[in-house]
A and B are shown apart, each in its own frame.
Chain A
Amino acid sequence: SQTIHQWPATLVQPVGSPLSLECTVEGTSNPNLYWYRQAAGRGLQLLFYSVGIGQISSEVPQNLSASRPQDRQFILSSKKLLLSDSGFYLCAWSLGGLTGELFFGEGSRLTVL
């Protein structure tokens, strides 16, 4: 069966510090991978998605970046965090096609102080 893991689960970072969140998927090949952010009391905002190794699409301009160095690994990064980067970050995967469902990792709660 397929599993998805992301880490760290919780982190508190000062403004201006770097960020790296990692996500891995097991049990499937060539998944679509996604990074979402959910601000407190808000809906999910798609940040990045990837349909293959090295292929990254950004949905919103920001100081975050994403990379996919391996088929089942997705990384979210920042060189300098802003206060507004605080939120609940969710990695997700789906198979391609018209009816594929989305499956989420456990989430990473980031607080920028």
Chain B
Amino acid sequence: RKEVEQDPGPFNVPEGATVAFNCTYSNSASQSFFWYRQDCRKEPKLLMSVYSSGNEDGRFTAQLNRASQYISLLIRDSKLSDSATYLCVVRGPPNNAGNMLTFGGGTRLMVKP
């Protein structure tokens, strides 16, 4: 089983649609969680952190379910500019050298007019 697993997609949705991505992680001791966005041939950029209580930033909502070991990202009212690859990122438990991030393979979203 991969440490962080995502459906690669692509998810093809019309403008204005609501779309949700899930991501599962294998290490129950993982400490923190993030969603990153990566545009084609660009570097990943932090979209939002994921908190235990869930958090919302405009049209984006992130949820964490520790019992089932998954995080989710919900995008409401999709825009053409939301087209990108969304990376699920999990920070593992601390060890002597630090606490490492593991990236999922990404979910590609394509928003159509």
Q: Which residues of A contact B (CB under 8 A)?
A: 32, 36, 42-44, 46, 49, 51, 57, 88, 90, 94, 96-107, 109
Contact = CB atoms under 8 A, between A and B. Distances in A.
A107 B97 contact: no
Contact of A107 (B43, B94, B105): B43
Interface residues of B, number: 23
Nearest to B102: A46
Interface of B: 31-32, 34, 41-46, 49, 87, 89, 91, 94, 97-101, 103-106
Given A43-B104, A43-B105, A46-B100, A98 B44 contact: no
A32 B31 contact: no
B87 A44 contact: yes
A95 B102 CA distance: 16
